[in-house]
Amino acid sequence: MYDNQITGIEKSEKEDLYGLIEQVPNTRFLGSSLGVTIYRIGLNFYDSTKVATKLKLSEEKLAVINAARDTLPEEKKLLKKADKLNSKIEGLEKKLEFGNAVMRTGNPLVILDSAEAITTVNNLKGYLVNHSFFDATVTYEVKTKKKKAFVTYPITEGKPYVLDSVYTRSENPEILKLLQLNSEKSHLDEGSRYNQEDIIQERDRLEELLKNSGFYMFSKSYINYIAYQDTAAKTISLEQVIQKPTFTDIHEVYTIDSITFRINPPSNEFADRRIQEKFRNIDFSFYRDHYSAKVLASRIFLQTGQPYSRTAAIETQRQLSNLDLFRFVNITFDTLGTSLTANIFTQPNQKYQLTNQLGLTVTEQLPGPFFSTSLRNRNFFRAGEILEFNFRAGLEGVASATGQGVYQSSEVSTGVTVIFPRFLIPFAPATLQKFGRYNPNTRTRLSYIYTNRPEYTRNSVNGLFSYSWATAKNRVLYTLNAADMSYIRTPKLQDEFRDILEDLQDDGNNLIWSFLPSFISSISGQSIINFNKYGDFNSSKASLLRLFAESGGTTLNLFDVRSNAEPGIEYANFQWVKAQVDFRRYYPLDKDQKFAYRLNFGWAAPYGVSAGILPYEKYFFAGGGTSIRAWQARRLGPGSSVPETGEGGEYDYTNEQPAEMILESMLEYRRKIFGYFDMALFVDIGNSWVIGYDAARPGADFRYDRFYKELAVGTGIGVRMDFDFLVLRLDLATKAVDPAKPEGDRWVLDNINFKQPFGVRGQTVLNFGIGYPF
C-alpha cells in the first residue's frame, strides 16, 4: 500500500474525507519508511509461538494460585504472586498482539486489503449522504507498479440538498412554547445545506434545554426526525417529533423538594457520632463537627422550590470536587410524583497527603535533576482550607553570563501556603455565596528561595496574597495578586561578573543596582483564556490567550523614598509597570500533521525612584528553548546591538541581555513519524529592545522606523519523543537573519553549506527540552 487519492471533491471537506480512509500508507521520509525498518528489526527477535507458550504457562500458574487463595484469601505471599503474574500476563498479551518493544516503536508494512477499500467506499458514501449529497457515487480503483499499490477513490458529489423547512410536532404545549422562545439558538437553519451533524447538535441542544427547564425524565431518545426528500427541487423538509413518554401521558416539570448532604465516615468508627445541621434549606449530616455548612452550601446550586436543572447538578458536583476535600461526590435524585429529593453523598479525602517527585527539569540549556516534596493538610481550619508545605532542590545546566560554556546552577526553595476556598475580603460576608460557582480561592504564601548561579548567589524571601477564580468549565482563569512582596539579597557576585556590571555602569547603564539589597512589592493581574482545551494536542483546533499586567512599587508614591540615582546608594528601590500578551494557536491538518504558532509581546517601564532600572527578575530576555531557538538562552538582542567578538571575529554571545520590551513569534509544523517519534520544522522571529537610549549597547533602543529591520529569524528541525505522560524534545536551530550584523549582511543562512554544515561558530544551537515549546 503506497498511496491514497480522492478525486472529484468540489464542495466537501477534503480533510474529513481523507480521515475516513481505512488503510493509511506508512509514513515515508526521502522515499523510505524508518518505522517499517525498525519494525522489521524487532521482528527478527520475535517468536509469537514462544510468547503464546509463556502466556499459557503464566495463566496456568495464576489459576493454581487463585485456587490456593480461595482457601487462604488473606495470605499476602499468594496475593503478591498473583499481582506479579497478572502484570506479566498483561505484558505478554500486549506482546502477542502488537509484538515486542522494538516492533511497537516502529510500524508494520501496510499491505493492500480490498475489503478495507470497500469499507472506505461505504464510509465516504455515508459521509456524503450525511452532508447533503444524497445522489453522490463513490468507487475505487487500484493501480500497481513494482509491488506498490496506488488506490484512487473517484467521487461524484452531485447537487447538495438544501433544508427547506423545519416543523416541530408535540402534544405538550409547554414544550412547544419553550422551544419557540429559544428558536433563535437552533442549529437547523432553513436555506442552509442539509447536514446530519446539525441534527445531532440540535438534539443535544433540545435535551439540554428541557433538562435545565425542569424536565428531569426527558432524554434525547424522545426526539425523532423525519426527512422528506424532494428529488426534483433537491430540498429536504424536516419534521422534528417530540414523542410522548412511555410511563405517563405527558412530559412533566419536576421540582426540587429537599436537599440532603451527607459526608460518610471513612470507617464504622464514627457511625454513631453524627452532627446534624440545616443551612439554606439544605440538611447536612457530618460524621463529626469538622466541616463548614456555610462553605459547602456556597458550592451547591440546586435550590428547593425551583425546577430541576441538569447544569446546576453538574456544576454542584464539579465545584464540590474542586474543594479537594472529598474522594468522590455523588448526586442522586429520589422521585415522588413530580417532586425530587436531591441526595449528595461524599466521603472525605485523606487528611494528610505526602507527594514526592524526582525527575529532570530544563529552563535554559541542559536538563538537571530535581527533587520536590509537598505535605498537604486538608480542612486545616475546618472550613475547607488547605495547608501545604513545599520543598524543592534542583541542579541545571545554564550558560554563564560571563563566558562561554554551560555551568551548573542550583536552586533550593521552601514555602508554606494556605488556600482558603473563598474570597477573604473584609466587610463583605456575602461574597461566599455570591461567587461560589466561580471556584473562588484566596492564597497566602510565605517562601524562601536560594539560587546559586556561576555569576552570583541570591537569597529571596517572598510573601504573596492572591485571589483566583474561574468561569464555567474553567475556560477563563483569573488571578489577582493583591500583594506580592520580596526581600532580595545578592551576597556574592563573581568578580568577572561584577567587572561587567561596573563597566556597564561607567557607560551609563546601572544594571548593577538590580543586585543591591532591595524590597520589591507589586500588584498584578492575569487572565488565561483557554479555547477548546489548548494543551490537549489530540483535540481539534484550540488556542490560548494570556494577558498579564503589573504595577510594582506603587505604594512608594505615598512616601518620601530615596531615589536610586542618589550617590552612595546601598539599598535599591524600584517602581515599574509591566504588561504582556501571549497568544498560542494549535491547528491540526489531520491526525498526523499539525500547525502551531505563538505570538508574544511584553513591555516593562521603570519610573520614579527606579531611575531607569528594573529588578533583574522583571526584565525580558530573548533566546532559548522556548523563545528564539537559534540563539542561546537570554543572549538575543537587544535590537541591533553588537555582542562581543571572540577569536576569528565571530560573535561570542557571552553576556545575558536584559531588555524592557520583547516581540516574538514561533511557527511549527509538527508531524508524527512512527511509534513514539515526532518531528517538527520551525521558524522563530523576534527580538528584544530597551526603552530609551542605552550608551553601553548602541542600537539596543526601540525605534519605530527600524525595529522591523531588527527582527531576528531562526529556523531548524526538531525531534520529539511523545510518551503521552512525557515529551522529550531536541531542536537543532540555525540563525537565518542576525540583526547584530550590519544592514545588508544580516542574512546569514547562506553560511551553511556542505563544507560548513553547521555554519560558522555560534550559528547553530542545539536545544534540549521537556514538553512542547508552546
- Report the 3 state secondary structure along 673-715: EECCEEEEEEEEEEEEEECCCCCCCCCCECCCCCHHHHCEEEE
* 498-525 pLDDT per residue, tens: 888 887 777 767 778 888 899 999 999 9
Mean pLDDT over 405-426 rounds to 87
Domains 162-242 and 255-348 share a fold: yes
Mean pLDDT over 584-608 rounds to 91
Q: 89: how many CB neighbours lie within 10 A of its CB?
A: 16
* 758-767 pLDDT per residue, tens: 777 778 888 8
Res 405 pLDDT > 60: no
CATH number of 162-242: 3.10.20.310
Question: What pLDDT is recorded for position 648?
Answer: 62
- Give the C-alpha separation, 662 to 684, whole Å: 13
Question: Of 3.40.50.2300, 3.20.20.100, 3.10.20.310, 2.160.10.10, which CATH number belongs to 255-348?
Answer: 3.10.20.310
Helix (H) or strand (E) holding 6: strand 3-7
CB of 447 within 8 A of CB of 414? yes
High-pLDDT (> 90) share of the chain, %: 52
* 246-295 pLDDT per residue, tens: 888 899 999 999 999 999 887 665 556 678 899 999 999 988 768 899 99
Question: What pLDDT is recorded for position 134?
Answer: 93
Question: What pLDDT is recorded for position 102?
Answer: 83
Domain segments of the chain as ranges = 162-242, 255-348
Residue predicted with more confidence, 112 or 472: 112
Question: What pLDDT is recorded for position 330?
Answer: 95
* 73-89 pLDDT per residue, tens: 667 788 888 888 888 89
C-alpha cell belonging to residue 130: 450525511
Res 749 pLDDT > 60: yes
Question: What pLDDT is recorded for position 649?
Answer: 65
**What confidence category does residue 132 fall into, taking pLDDT thresholds of 50, 70 and 90?**
very high
> What sections of 490-555 are H helices per DSSP?
495-506
Question: What pLDDT is recorded for position 317?
Answer: 95
* 670-722 pLDDT per residue, tens: 988 877 888 999 999 999 999 988 777 889 999 999 999 999 999 999 998 88
Q: CA 50: distance to chain centroid? A: 43
Task: Tabulate helix, strand, coil % of the chain (nearest 5).
Answer: 25, 40, 35
Closest C-alpha to 211, from 337, 340, 345, 346: 340
Q: 697: how many CB neighbours lie within 10 A of its CB?
A: 22
- Give the C-alpha separation, 114 to 144, whole Å: 13
